[in-house]
Amino acid sequence: DTEVTQTPKHLVMGMTNKKSLKCEQHMGHRAMYWYKQKAKKPPELMFVYSYEKLSINESVPSRFSPECPNSSLLNLHLHALQPEDSALYLCASSQEGLAIDTQYFGPGTRLTVL
């Protein structure tokens, strides 16, 4: 059973909509991650939060806005997305955000932008 949960499982939105993806982890981890995965490709890192502070932003467009309200919760706010942003969005968490730490992934949100 995964201890990283993501909601919603599926999301369809128009280019003018505003929506949010939510992630929660129950392992007491202090680092959380957002990844984007296109079909038949590996995940691509978007953001890393460590101790509730943004530590890595992989030059992600501003239409994606992350938020970490506390160490267990991670949100990704979406606004004015493009059809090419359609993908599987994966959340992950790890102990401290160090290289040695294993990242544990949630089940993902399948996003379709019309």
Three-class DSSP category at 30: coil
Site for another protein (CB under 8 A): which residue of 11, 47, 97, 113? 97
- 60 part of the interface to another protein, by CB under 8 A: no
Helix, strand, coil % in the chain, rounded to nearest 5: 5, 55, 40
| Torsion angles phi and psi, residue 84, rounded to 5 | -70, -5
Taking the C-alpha atoms of residue 95 and residue 73, their distance in angstroms, rounded to an integer, is 14
Taking CB under 8 A as the rule, which mask of x and - marks residues 9-48 in contact with another protein? ----------------------x-x------xxxx-x--x
Residue 85 Cβ vs another protein, minimum distance, rounded to whole Å: 17
Nearer to another protein, 66 or 108 (CB): 108
Give the position of tokens 């939105």. Answer: 13
Q: Classify 61 as helix, strand or coil.
A: coil
Binding-site ranges for another protein (CB under 8 A): 2, 31, 33, 40-43, 45, 48, 50, 55-56, 88, 90, 92, 94, 97-108, 110
